[in-house]
Structures are given as structure tokens and as C-alpha cells.
Chains A and B, each alone.
Chain A
Amino acid sequence: MIEVKGLTKYFGPVTAVNDISFVVDKGEILGFLGPNGAGKSTTMRMITGYLTPSEGTALIGGKDIVSRGLEARQSIGYLPENAPVYPDMTVLGFLNFCAEIRGFSGKDKHHRVEEIIERCFLSEVRQQSIDTLSKGFKQRVCFAQAILHDPPYLIMDEPTDGLDPNQKHEVRTMILEMAKEKAMIISTHILEEVEAVCTRAIIIAEGRIVADDTPKNLKGMSRLHNTLSLDLEAKEGVDFQKELSTFSWIREVEALGARGGDEAVLRLRIRTGNPPWDPERELWRFCCQKGWTVVSLFREEGRLDEVFRMITAPDRGN
């Protein structure tokens, strides 16, 4: 369990992180979101012991990172932002070094390193000097370093940054595979990633937590959540908006204009008040009765990016 208690960091007059507290249990994958400069990396650096907090502390499996740093760090795997690795070393040399520091030796070390090279798709570059690797490969080397010792606590700052779509997928799959026996914190700017892997998301802005919920519930905060999106073939002399407004459970019908350049199809967004249990079906039936051609009809779940914008930049919201 990772317990973060009132973490605060001042850089001179700047408060980069302001009284952040949360708990991550085994089996949870916590997504860490926030605009640039929100304080995500600074928080992670304090949790992993690179920076000393100005106030507050973090407990890693019950061990205080400030007073018992060495023990706490033993059970952490950390992938720092921008994946720093030693340019003068080979991939194999670097991973061997990390394994030795993590207390592996002899055959055991050899197996670990070989296994991790295999798992992180590094076989073809094992003897290559790290400064000649492409960005994505450097990222993978650093990722390998973080999971090498199979740590119970994994903290990763933008783990899929710079990876190609295939590798992104691989990394997400690996993260999900490891999820059961680990507690993880992952920061990212890719919101689909949050939906795909995270069990919980924390949004921070200007150093404070502004939202802490499951991705699903966060999406529920979207203004679009549960609105119906209805595409109809245009029909001369018919005012869809007015006719639809006769439903008691339809609160508002918004015309979004022609769909994607196709003049013949109109898109409507329908905001519901207290809908019947199956509003899509009712609406569909109504349209058929009227003789309208429905091109598509679906219920919006809400979009995380919209919620993100709404929470982190409310005054500039759309």
C-alpha cells in the first residue's frame, strides 16, 4: 500500500505541490493526470525519495520514505520522466548494474536480466551502446530497469511517452498483467490510456487534487454524459427540434448542423430530463412513426478530455 500524506513541495516562492494525500492499494492502478506543470512529476519524485518533501511524507508498504528511505526504496520500481539512462553503457551492462544494485548475483542475476530483455523486446539491441538507441528504445530500457526486480510498488512517469502504437499496446498489456499483485501510480497525458488501464484517476492542477474517482465516474461528470446523439436524414419542411420537444422527458434539443460535411444528414444532441429506462428505443420508434430516416442513434458516455478541460481550465471551458 502506498500512503501519501499531505505532501507539499516549495521551490523558493513557488508551491509546486500543495498538500496532496491519497492511498493506493494492491491491485489498484492509479492514473495521475493534470496539465503541464501541475506537479505530477514533483509528487512522484517525492514518493520515490529523489526529492525531500517540504511537508508531509509517503509510506511505502508502511515504511516512511523520509525516515526509512533505503528500506522504502527497495520495494519501489521507478520510471522517471524522460527515461534517463547512462549513454556510455550498453543495454546489457546497464541492466546488469541495476540487477546488482537490487541484490541479484550469479545465475539468478543472469536469468533476471535475460528474462527482462526478452519481455521488453530489447534482444536486438542488448550489446548496443545506449546513446545510439532511438527514444522509444531508451524508454523501454528504463522501463525494464523499473520492473527488473518485480517490485510490489511501481511508479511510472509517462511510461508510454515516445513509444510506437504497437509498443504502447505492449506496455499497457504488461501493466495490466502485473496489476494484480502490485500497487501502481502512472502519470500520463493520454486519456485513452487512463480509460484502458487505470482503476482510479486523480486529476491535479496547480499542485492540488481537484478530482479523485474512477475513470467511469469522471466521465459521468461530463456535460455530454447520457445525452443522446441522433443523426437524421434531412427532410424538407420538417422542424425536428420542435417535434422532438413534445416528449416529456426531453429537456433540450440542440441542432449541431450537418454531419461531417454531409449536407443530407442532420445531427441533433438531445439532453434528457428523467428518461424512461430505454430512451433510445422510444426515440427510435417515434422517428419511425413519423417516417424519418434514422442514420445513427447512440447514448454518449461522456468524454474524459472534456471533463479534464472542465476541471483544469474552467474559465476557458467551451
Chain B
Amino acid sequence: MSLKHVKAIVKKELSGYFGSPVAYVFIVIFLLLSGFFTFSVSRFYEMGQADLRAFFEWLPWIFLFLVPAVAMRLWAEERRIGTLELLLTLPVSITELILGKFLAAWLFICFALALTFPLVITVTYLGDPDMGPIFCGYLGGVLLAAALLSVGSMTSSLTRNQVISFILSVVICLFFTLAGWPPVTEAISAWAPAWLVDLVAGFSFVTHFQDLQRGIIDLRDLVYFASVVFFMLFSTAVVLDNRRSL
């Protein structure tokens, strides 16, 4: 694997994002939604607490729709306009391609996430927040984005149609998200044994994200996100390789 190749692909992808309206539309919508949910729905000011709980509580739901929207074009668009043929006949390996594209999308979402820094400034101005949970919350957000993106990368490699890719990816991510959502776990625990509830909840993005949000960096959570990303990117490679010999 060559880092130069990965770097070139990341650069090309990012210039593609910022060369089209995609980047700006995404960033604006992301900021508007997070602002709306944090301030209006969760009543950030009225709660009178100097932390970003309100923001982080909504983040998985905002990401659930926005991240697949970024990921849907990763491969589907290349296939549709035919540039996949160009890309796959260049002397780069599939690993480099997948990694480059994934990293670029990830960097882009991290950039959007970083643009929520006025929230941090607001809470430090209003009170004396505990920086630990805020830092961990952002770390959780970054990891959550990676997991959602990897799912989107996989669904995008399946089709040349971005809409199909988006819907598939939202459905899969919704499953991963809902599995640990309290109303769902409660519903399951009504009839299922506790270990099954834990198992299902253990698959959820939200469960692991919440741990981080509370300010606990647990190795198990990190391993969880890393394995989701690895598994999904690996599936992307398998799909791309299979479609080559189709």
C-alpha cells in the first residue's frame, strides 16, 4: 500500500466535494439541524446546564440521514458516470481506493462537526463545563460518523443508483441505531432474556456512543467502532471485486 496514492485520492475526493454544491449544502443543513434540535427542541438555555448533552443526544439522529447522504455517491456516482473504469484501471489497489475515499469523506464530516465549535464557546461562556465529556462526545461523534460512513460505502458499492444506496444505508444504520435506543430495548426486554437484550443493544451505535458521551473512553467501544468500520470496508472491497468479474 502506498500512502502517496491514498493521499492523491483523498485530495481528489475533497476537491470533488468542494468543487460541487454537495459540501456547502451538507454543512449548512448539518449546522441548521444541530442548532434547531439543540436550542429549540431540547431547550438548551432553559435546561440551565453547562454541557453539550442536548447536542450529543441528537447527533446520532442527524447523522443517521446526513452521513448516508454523503456516502451514497462514493461508488454509485463513479459507476454511473463511468469513471470507475478509469479508477480501477489506474495502478492503485482496491484497498488504497477504498481507504482514500473513506478517509476523504470522514475528514469532510469531521470538518463539518468541527464547525459546531460555537456551541463549545457558548457553554464555556455561560458556565464552567466539564471539558472531559465534551471532548469524549466529539470523539464519539467522529467514531459514529466513521461507522455510518463505512455502511454507506458498502451500500454505495452495490449499485449505480444513489437513491437506492441512500435508502439501503439508512435502513441498515437505522437498525444499528434503534437496537440500543431505550424504547426499543425496553420493548425487547418485556419478553426476551436479559442477555439477548444486551446482545442486541451491544450491536447498537447509540449504546457505544452514549458511553463516550458520558465521558468514559472504554476500549471496548473503540474496538466496536473499529470492527464495524473494518467489516464494512472489507465488504466494500469484496463487492467491488465481485462486480469486476460479473
Contact = CB atoms under 8 A, between A and B. Distances in A.
Contact of A86 (B11, B16, B246): B16
A273 interface: no
A45 B8 CA distance: 24
Question: Of B8, B12, B81, B89, which is in contact with the most chain A CB atoms at under 10 Å from its CB?
Answer: B89
B89 A101 contact: no
A85 B4 CA distance: 21
A116 B203 CA distance: 52
A82 interface: yes
B245 A89 contact: no
Contacts of B88: 49-50
B4 to A, nearest CB: 7
Interface in A17-55: 45, 48-52, 54
Contacts of A100: 4, 7-8, 11
User: Top 4 A-B pairs ranked by shortest CB distance?
Assistant: A84-B82, A52-B245, A100-B8, A88-B19
B16 A80 contact: no
A82 B81 CA distance: 10
Contacts of B93: 70
A98 B90 contact: yes
B195 to A, nearest CB: 44
Interface string A228-244: 00000000000000000
Contact of B91 (A54, A85, A97, A101): A101
Interface size classification for chain B:
20 to 34
A214 B8 CA distance: 42
B170 to A, nearest CB: 24
A136 interface: no
Contact of B19 (A49, A51, A82, A129): A129
Nearest to A54: B245
Nearest to A99: B8
Contacts of B15: 88-89, 93
Given A84-B83, A88-B16, A88-B20, A50 B244 contact: yes
A102 B91 CA distance: 7
B88 to A, nearest CB: 5
B92 interface: yes
B187 interface: no
A73 interface: yes
A188 interface: no
A38 to B, nearest CB: 19
14 contacts: A49-B89, A50-B244, A51-B245, A70-B93, A73-B91, A84-B81, A86-B12, A86-B83, A88-B15, A89-B15, A100-B4, A100-B11, A101-B5, A102-B90
Interface string B1-40: 0001101110110011001100000000000000000000
A87 interface: yes
B16 A101 contact: no
A101 B97 CA distance: 11
A101 B8 contact: yes
B130 interface: no
A145 B91 contact: no
Contact of A97 (B11, B20, B85, B245): B11
B244 A51 contact: yes
B41 interface: no
Nearest to B21: A88
Contact of A84 (B86, B90, B91, B92): B86
A88 B77 CA distance: 12
B26 to A, nearest CB: 14
B12 A97 contact: yes
